[in-house]
C-alpha cells in the first residue's frame, strides 16, 4: 500500500489538493480534519465547551463517526450526514481546541490507521506524518504565507454564503496557527523527514502536480536505495579489504537526515572507497570524465553518482544534489574539484558548489579527510577515512550573498584542514 501524508497549517489547501491527488491516483482520501471537526461539532451542538477537557472526554463514547467512501468521503455523525455544517469558522476553532486533548486524538487514531492498513490512502491534517502515518511513503508539510492562506479561506467562505471579512479570517487564522503550533499534544510542526512545500504562488493544480512529482521521485529513490544496498553488499567488503580501509570517527556519522559530505580529493578511487565504507547511501557529485571509464562508470553508477560537468556551472547537477538532501539523503562532493594528492589541503583552492548546496538546503556538513601513504593509492596500501564532527547549518549560514558563499566554503575548508593536521599528528 502507498501512503501519502500531508500536514500543514489551516488554509494551506491541504484538503483540496489531497482530494485532487486522490482522484488522479485512484487513492482513498481521508479527511482527518473532518474527524476533529465532527467531534468539535458534537460538543458545540450538545452545549459542551470544547475547552472543557473533562466534559469533552466524558462525551467521547457518545460520538459515533462513520466514514463512507464513494467518489468522495462522506462523514456521518451519530447517523446523520453533517456535510458543510462542520466547515464554519466556529467549528474550525472548536476542532482546533478539542484536537489538543490527547484523549480525543487517541479516540480517532485507530479509525485513521485501520483505513490506511487496507488501502492506498492520502491523508491531510496536522500530525499525519508524525503520529498517524509515521512510515508514510511521502510526507509533505504544505504551507503558505498567512496572508495567502487567509485570502483563500475568505474566498471559500464567501462562496458558501458566509458573512465575514478578510481581516477577521486572517485574525482567526493567526490565532489558530499559534494554538496548533504551540500545543503540547501533536503540535502542527513538520515531521523530521517531511518535505517542505510552499504553495503561496501555486494554484491547486500546480500544488497537486508538485506533490505527485515528489511521490514519483520518492518511489524511484526507494528503488535506487534497494539497488545500492544490493551492490554495496557485493562490492563493499572486498573493496574495504583490498584497500585496507579504516574508518576513524564513525561516531560522528548521523543516522538520518540530509547531509553534505565534503572531502579532500587525492584520486579516482576516493568516491568508490568512501561509498564502500560509509554506512548510509552516498550520492556523489562525480566529474563526467569518470563516466567514460567502463569499470569506474559501472561502480559509481551502482553507487548512485550524480554526473557533474566541471567545465560549466552545472546547475542541473547541483539541483539534483539539493533534491537528494531534501529527501534526507547523503550527498558527497570534493570541493577541491581536481585531484591534489601531494598538495596540503590548505594550499589548494576550494570551489563553491558546496556553498550553493548548503545555502539552498540549510543542511549540515560532514567534513572528511582521506589519507593514505604519501597520498598515493596502491594495492593493499592502507587508506584512512577521518570523519570530522558534523557542522550544523547555524555555523555555516551567518551571512548572505557572495560573502555568505565564501564564509561557508572557508568554514568547510578549515574543518578539513583540522582533520588533516590531526591525521598527520600535528597540533592544530
**CA dist., res. 267 & res. 246, Å (int):** 17
Instruction: Supply the pLDDT for residue 235.
Output: 84
- Reported as a single tens digit per residue, the pLDDT across 153-206 is 888 888 888 888 999 989 988 888 887 777 776 677 888 888 999 999 999 999
Phi–psi pair at 285, nearest 5 degrees: -85, 100
- What's the pLDDT score for residue 420? 94
DSSP state of 187: -
User: Distance (Å, rounded) from C-alpha 367 to C-alpha 301?
Assistant: 23
pLDDT band at residue 401 using 50, 70 and 90 as cut-offs: low
pLDDT of 392 over the 90 cut: yes
Q: Is 121 helix (H, G, I), strand (E, B) or coil?
A: strand
Confidence (pLDDT) at 210? 96
Q: How high is the pLDDT of residue 257?
A: 85
pLDDT at 261 over 60: yes
- Side-chain-side CA neighbours of 58 within 13 Å: the count stands at 8
List of long-range contacts for 412-415, beta carbons under 8 Å, 24+ apart = 412/262, 412/335, 412/350, 412/354, 412/365, 412/367, 413/335, 413/345, 413/346, 413/350, 415/262, 415/365, 415/367, 415/388, 415/391
Q: Among 196, 283, 253, which residue's Cα sits nearest to residue 386?
A: 253
- Tell me the C-alpha distance between 27 and 1, whole Å: 10
Q: Is 271:300 a contact under the CB 8 Å cutoff? A: yes
Grid cell, residue 215, equals 511521490
Please tell me the predicted confidence (pLDDT) of residue 243.
84
Distances (CA, A) of 56 to 59, 92, 371: 5, 16, 64
pLDDT beyond 60 at 408: yes
The residue ranking higher by pLDDT, 269 or 120, is 120
CA separation (Å) from 427 to 241, 246, 388, 421? 31, 22, 16, 7
Strand runs labelled E in 70-175: 73-77, 80-81, 121-125, 138-143
Residue 56's pLDDT band (boundaries 50, 70, 90)? very high
- For the segment 91-149, what is each residue's pLDDT rounded down to a tens digit? 989 998 998 899 998 999 888 888 888 889 999 988 899 888 999 999 999 999 989 88
Higher pLDDT, 127 or 333: 333
Instruction: Share the mean pLDDT of the chain.
Output: 88
At 303, the pLDDT band (50, 70, 90 cuts) reads low
Count CB neighbours of 154 within 10 A.
20
Cell of 181: 503550533
Check pLDDT > 90 for residue 25: yes
Q: Quote the strand ranges of 242-281, DSSP E.
A: 245-248, 259-263
Residue range 57-89, pLDDT digits in tens: 999 999 998 877 776 778 889 989 888 899 888
Separation between Cα atoms, residue 25 and residue 39, nearest integer Å: 29
| Helical axes 204-242 vs 270-277, angle rounded to 10° | 100
Give the side-chain half-sphere CA count within 13 A for 281. Answer: 25
Q: Which residues contact 177 (CB under 8 A, 6 or more apart)?
A: 9, 10, 146, 188
Q: Which residues pair with 68 in a beta bridge?
A: 74
Complete domains list, the chain, with CATH: 3-219 (3.40.50.300), 243-423 (3.40.1130.10)
275 within 8 A of 231, measured Cβ to Cβ: no
138-143/3-7 β-pairing: parallel
Instruction: List residues bridging with 384 in a β-sheet.
Output: 246, 371
Amino acid at each position: 500500500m502507498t501512503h501519502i501524508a500531508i500536514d500543514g497549517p489551516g488554509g494551506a489547501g491541504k484538503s483540496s489538493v489531497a482530494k485532487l491527488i486522490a482522484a488522479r491516483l485512484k487513492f482513498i482520501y481521508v479527511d482527518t480534519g473532518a474527524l476533529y471537526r465532527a467531534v468539535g461539532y458534537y460538543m458545540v451542538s450538545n452545549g459542551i465547551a470544547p475547552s472543557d477537557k473533562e466534559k469533552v472526554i466524558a462525551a467521547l463514547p457518545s460520538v459515533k463517526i462513520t466514514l463512507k467512501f464513494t467518489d468522495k468521503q462522506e462523514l456521518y455523525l451519530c447517523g446523520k450526514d453533517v456535510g458543510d455544517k462542520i466547515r464554519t469558522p466556529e467549528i474550525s476553532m472548536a476542532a482546533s481546541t478539542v484536537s489538543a486533548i490527547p484523549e480525543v486524538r487517541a479516540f480517532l487514531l485507530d479509525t485513521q490507521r485501520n483505513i490506511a492498513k487496507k488501502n492506498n490512502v492520502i491523508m491531510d491534517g496536522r500530525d499525519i506524518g508524525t503520529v498517524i502515518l509515521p512510515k508514510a511513503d511521502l510526507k509533505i508539510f504544505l504551507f503558505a504565507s498567512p496572508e495567502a492562506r487567509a485570502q483563500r479561506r475568505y474566498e471559500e467562505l464567501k462562496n458558501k454564503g458566509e458573512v465575514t471579512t478578510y481581516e477577521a479570517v486572517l485574525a482567526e487564522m493567526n490565532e489558530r496557527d499559534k494554538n496548533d503550533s504551540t500545543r503540547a499534544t501533536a503540535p502542527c510542526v513538520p515531521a523530521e523527514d517531511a518535505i517542505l512545500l510552499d504553495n503561496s504562488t501555486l494554484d491547486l493544480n500546480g500544488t497537486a502536480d508538485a506533490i505527485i512529482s515528489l511521490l514519483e521521485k520518492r518511489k524511484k529513490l526507494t528503488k535506487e536505495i534497494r539497488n545500492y544496498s544490493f551492490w554495496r553488499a557485493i562490492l563493499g567488503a572486498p573493496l574495504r579489504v583490498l584497500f585496507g580501509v579504516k574508518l576513524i570517527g564513525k561516531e560522528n556519522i548521523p543516522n538520518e537526515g540530509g547531509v553534505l559530505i565534503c572531502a579532500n580529493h587525492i584520486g579516482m578511487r576516493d568516491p568508490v572507497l568512501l561509498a564502500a565504507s560509509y554506512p548510509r547511501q552516498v550520492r556523489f557529485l562525480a566529474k563526467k570524465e569518470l563516466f567514460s571509464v567502463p569499470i569506474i562508470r559501472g561502480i559509481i553508477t551502482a553507487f548512485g553518482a550524480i554526473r557533474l560537468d566541471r567545465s560549466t556551472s552545472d546547475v542541473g547537477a547541483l539541483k539534483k544534489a539539493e533534491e537528494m538532501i531534501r529527501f534526507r539523503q547523503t550527498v558527497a562532493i570534493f570541493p577541491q574539484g581536481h585531484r591534489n594528492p601531494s598538495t596540503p589541503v590548505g594550499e589548494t583552492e576550494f570551489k563553491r558548489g558546496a556553498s550553493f548546496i548548503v545555502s539552498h538546503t540549510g543542511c549540515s556538513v560532514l567534513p572528511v579527510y582521506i589519507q593514505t601513504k604519501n597520498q598515493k593509492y596502491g594495492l593493499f596500501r592502507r587508506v584512512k577515512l577521518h570523519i570530522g564532527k558534523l557542522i550544523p547549518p547555524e555555523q555555516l549560514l551567518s551571512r548572505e550573498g557572495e560573502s555568505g558563499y565564501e564564509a561557508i566554503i572557508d568554514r568547510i575548508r578549515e574543518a578539513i584542514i583540522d582533520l588533516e593536521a590531526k591525521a598527520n599528528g600535528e597540533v592544530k
